[in-house]
């Protein structure tokens, strides 16, 4: 029995030291793992934040470019019919939108929905403007109707979407 007590005097302290060492090393490794994850996230943020800001900028530019007044100035040509100008305007809106499709990866789903809805509303606005005109209407007539519609609209969908994008960017910082 004395021999067991003698062995226990040496083994038990060793087991306590071993258990303590194991717990300390495991805690240290957990903390180091968490620190590495934070470092990776911070490094990723340094890379992704400028890209996200650029996406918001590009979408704001898209919305500005497809607003009726800017669109009419950029796309209208003299001596075109209203139908020809309608096709040019709608193609331009779709082309601008398609060019910026990849930006949806960097913005919230709500922001992207606002951009998509703005595009659809502008196309609808162009279609409504053409429907108000007679068959022989010119491109200038369409421009006038579109600008009048824009003037009478309380808040353009593009303006609302830009405001939403701005608010989302402000929340990031």
Which tens digit of pLDDT belongs to each residue from 126-173? 999 999 999 999 999 999 999 999 999 999 999 999 999 999 999 987
Predicted pLDDT of residue 39? 80
Nearest one of 80, 79, 62 to 71, comparing CA atoms: 62
Q: What does the CA dihedral 58, 63, 69, 73 come to, rounded to 10 degrees?
A: 40
Q: What is the pTM of this model?
A: 0.76
- The mean pLDDT value for 53-72 works out to 96
């Amino acid at each position: 029995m004395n021999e067991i007590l003698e062995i226990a005097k040496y083994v038990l302290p060793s087991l306590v030291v071993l258990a303590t060492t194991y717990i300390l090393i495991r805690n240290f490794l957990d903390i180091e793992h968490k620190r590495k994850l934070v470092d990776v996230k911070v490094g990723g943020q340094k890379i992704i934040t400028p890209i996200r800001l650029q996406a918001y900028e590009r979408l704001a530019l898209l919305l500005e470019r497809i607003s009726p007044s800017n669109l009419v100035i950029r796309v209208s040509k003299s001596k075109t019919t209203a139908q020809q100008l309608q096709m040019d305007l709608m193609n331009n809106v779709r082309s601008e939108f398609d060019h910026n499709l990849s930006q949806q990866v960097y913005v919230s789903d709500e922001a992207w929905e606002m951009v998509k809805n703005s595009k659809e509303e502008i196309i609808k606005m162009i279609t409504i403007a053409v429907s108000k005109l007679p068959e022989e209407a010119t491109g200038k007539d369409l421009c006038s109707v579109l600008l009048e519609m824009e003037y009478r609209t309380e808040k353009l969908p593009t303006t609302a979407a830009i405001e939403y994008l701005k608010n989302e960017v402000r929340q990031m910082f």
